[in-house]
Structure 1
Amino acid sequence: MAQSFCNVVLDTLPATGARLEVLFRQAGDGFLQVEYGREQRANLQDSFRTQVINDIILSKNLLGLIETVPGIRTNLFHFDPEELSMLNLIDLIKEAEESVKSIDDIVVESRLIHLPIAFEDGETKKAVEKYLKEVRPEAPNVINGYNLEYIAMCNGVTVDQVKNMLLGTDWYNSGGGFWPGGAFFWPMDPRCAIVVPKYNPPRTWTPEGAVGIGGPCVFTYTTPTGGGYQLFGRTIPTFQFSQKHPLFKSSPFLYKSADRIRFHEVTEAEILHIYEHVHDKTDYQYQIEEGRILVKDYLKFYNSEEVQRGALEFQAKQREGTRRAPRI
């Protein structure tokens, strides 16, 4: 006898010229997932819209709304159903959606966080060495003791070109996840859209501050943990459980949804010096600028002939690189 399943799509909003179809999915008792479109895609336009709608809902200070978890094309609303009904929440989100008539109207509040990074640092190299020794001695993603050459190979470019791409674009946070304080960062310039497979199997240890890439997303590791992203360097603390440093007094997490990070290269000695002045002396000054993303201006840049031509040229190199690179 065929098993029947409850339809978890509670309601929808039809697609318009400004957005994809909006699906309202039951995600458990006290959880509602809002999703853009029925097909998987990673497009920053969806995240920009998600963030603006999220801000509208949060500004209402709804009794019973516990938290929201925005992502690249979804938002998870956690609420107390005894104080806020699912149907009322859906109606409020629909109202917010209808208030945003055009993608050109969207302005996203977005801080710019400047992060120093040391490429091929000693701590992340120890993590790779430990992986070779204890997990997979012949891992094809480890070349000359590290992951950068494999990243370059998969993308059909050189190691220096990979570094230039990592430094050459702002990385946009579509939302937190995976690990406390973590964030998923996407390149705002499609000419820097590196893609690489993850470790198989994952590492058992990764140092605090390690920076890596898995699929199309950059991730900065907030604490020592396992992990599967290909490593390329180390940055400064983005999480502090003790909350001793002034920046972390209100929250142990550095990142907020819609933040952008911009890397600049420094020596490993500078990174270690900053760790001391964040966790011990607590007098390091983080470089954070308040700002906004004017979506109309961003799309003008993104869709420009120069950017699109460069992105297509890079994608051709990626296809060839992927063909040549060993499978993990």
Structure 2
Amino acid sequence: MRIIPVVIVAALAASACHRGASSPGSSFAGASLLTPLSEAEEAHDALLRADLGRADSVTRLGFASGFASNFATDVVYLRGGLPIVRGRDAATTIVRAESLAAGTAVRWQPVRAEASADGRSGYSYGYTILSMPAAAGATPAIRVDRYISFWRRDSTAWRIAAYAETYGAPPPPLALPVAAAGAAVSDLPMLRARGPLEQVRAADTAFSALAQRVGTGRAFGDFAAENAQIFSTPGEFITGPNAISESFGPSGSSGALVWHPVAGGVAESGDLGFTVGNAVFTGLREDGGQVVRYSKYLTVWKKQHDGRWRYVVDGGSARPNQ
């Protein structure tokens, strides 16, 4: 489908959880939705400016080309309803296949940005706010989505190495473009690696294993960093290990969730990393019938002072049934 030009406005601020808190809603007027959880240092500020700079790219180049200009060549891209894909060309093909109504205004409101110790990698996440045009005199419809980006800095600029969008409403149906089909990441567990990347892979694998033993809620609490946040339907962040754990309800009450990482990356300084992977939820409907849901996720990990890896943000979206 043809991309229709959109109006982009960037706003600087002061989830559905992948393995499945109140939404800003239509009254959103540009105010800060969440207070950043830590003071941004110089590298953090540069990363935040890069996040907001997507708006400038889109204004100059159009939505698809502008957004894609921020992708690393090996970007891992998670779009709702599609499998995980790898590569700038495939991600760009998917973005070009999106369709927005003429006059739609889009703005990004980052909530947090944090850079690695060497200032060469980092992550950001927050809200994507879309204002859809309405008939004369009517109030524009507002859709609030959320995003997670993991960034790497090359010789010239910050580039997105992994990107996931979690939707405030079901996204418009989109078939995987033929040109991107060959870039779908195989649903095979991530291979063992070395050094910090292996530590991140092992952390995510242990995370899933713990969920099978003690329940999803407890595992999400145990593996959360102190100020970790998850995206939870319909649109708010849930913050901190206790609140995150409690959000899942009593152990075993909602069904079983199993996941595995299929790819990942890590900062050269060894203190930040990410994993992407696939998840399957199996539960029971009220009538006793079985329900199975397939999803994918992006989790950002941070090495703690005691050497353990804990996630700082987690989110994702549905994927095709397999």
Check whether TM > 0.5: no
TM-score (norm 2): 0.25
Q: Considering only CA atoms, is the larger Rg found in Structure 1 or Structure 2?
A: 1
Q: Which has the higher helix share?
A: 1
